[in-house]
Amino acid sequence: MAAGTAMSSYWRGLRDGLPFLAVVGPFAMLFGVLATESGLALHETMGFSVVVIAGAAQFTALQLINENAPTLVVIASALAVNLRMAMYSASITPHLGPLPIWKRAIAAYFLVDQTYAQSVLDYERNPDQSPAEKFAYFLGVMTPICPPWYLFTFLGASLGERIPPSLGLDFALPIAFLAMIGPMLRTPAHRIAALAAVVLALAFAWLPFNMGLLVAGLGGMIAGAQAETRLGIKP
C-alpha cells in the first residue's frame, strides 16, 4: 500500500475529528477544575486523564471519591460505566483486526466514544479501505480528540477557573453524539436498532452503575440484527 493513501486517510480523519475539539475542550477542562476542587494534585489529575482516558468513567470515579466510597466500589462503578468499550472493541475488530498487535494496542488505548463512532461511520461509508488506511484514518480522528483531552485537563486543573454553566456547555457532549446519529441511520435495520436502543435506554435508566446503557445497547444490536435478517436488508 502506498504511503500517500495512508497519509491522505490520516488528514481526512483529522478533518472529520476536528469538530470534536469543541466538545473535548470544555469537557476536559471541567474534569480538571472539578478534580482540583476535590483536592487532587495536578499530577494526580493528569494521571487520571492520561492513564484512564475516559471522560464518563473519570467523572464517575471523581464523584465517588468525593463521597468517600470504598476504593473497590469506585473502581467497579467506573469500569461498569466503561463496559461499552468492550462492545466498541468487538465492533471495530473486523476493520482493524488484521493490523500488527502493537498497532491494535495503540488503537485500543485511544478507543473512546468519539474516535470509535466517527471511524466506524467512515468505514461503513467507504468500505474499500485497507486496514492500514483505516488505521491512519483512526489516528487522524484521534489527533484533535485525545491530545487535547490531556491538554485541557491540564488547563482546567492549573487555571482552576470556573466554567460558566449558563451557556449550556454541559450539552456540548450530547450535541456531538446527536450529530453523528443521523448519518448512521443508513438502512431500516439501523433505524430500528436506534429506536429500540432509545426506548430501552429510557425504560432502564433507573438501573444502577449505568447498566441501563448496556441493556439498551445489546437490545438495539439484537433489534438491528433481527431486522436485517427478517427484512432481508443488505448491510
User: Which residues, numbered 174-203, are part of the site for other proteins (CB under 8 A)?
Assistant: 174-185, 189-190, 193-194, 196-198, 200-202
Q: Provide the mask over 67-86, with x wherever binding to other proteins is found by CB under 8 A and - wherever it is not.
A: -x--x--xx--xx--xxxxx
The maximal CA–CA distance of the chain, rounded, in angstroms, is: 56
**Counting runs of H as helices and runs of E as strands, what totals does the chain give?**
13, 0
Listed in sequence order, the residues at least 6 apart from 92 whose beta carbon sits closer than 8 Å to its beta carbon are 107, 111, 116, 119, 120
CA distance 36 to 8: 40
Residue 63 or 158: which CB sits closer to other proteins?
63
Q: How many CB atoms lie within 10 A of CB 2?
A: 9
Closest separation between CB of residue 4 and other proteins, Å? 25
Residue 11 or 171: which CB sits closer to other proteins?
171
Closest separation between CB of residue 175 and other proteins, Å? 4
Residue 7 or 218: which CB sits closer to other proteins?
218
Closest separation between CB of residue 1 and other proteins, Å? 16
CA distance 58 to 32: 10
Residue 3 or 166: which CB sits closer to other proteins?
166
CA distance 202 to 218: 14
Q: Is 207 in the site for other proteins (CB under 8 A)?
A: no
Residue 6 or 216: which CB sits closer to other proteins?
216
Reduce the DSSP state of residue 229 to 3 states and report it: helix
Q: In this chain, which of 10, 13, 104, 152 binds other proteins, going by CB under 8 A?
A: 104
Question: Which residues between 108 and 137 bind other proteins (CB under 8 A)?
Answer: 108-109, 111, 113, 116-118, 120-121
Q: In this chain, which of 14, 42, 65, 155 binds other proteins, going by CB under 8 A?
A: 65
CA distance 150 to 136: 21
Residue 6 or 35: which CB sits closer to other proteins?
35
Phi and psi of 185, rounded to 5°? Answer: -80, 65
Q: What is the CA radius of gyration of the chain?
A: 19
Part of the chain binding other proteins (CB under 8 A), chosen from 24-32, 144-152, 154-162, 210-218 = 210-218
The three three-digit cell numbers of residue 141, written as one number: 480522528
Q: Is 87 in the site for other proteins (CB under 8 A)?
A: yes
Q: Provide the mask over 44-63, with x wherever binding to other proteins is found by CB under 8 A and - wherever it is not.
A: x--xx--xxxx--xx--x--
CA distance 23 to 26: 6
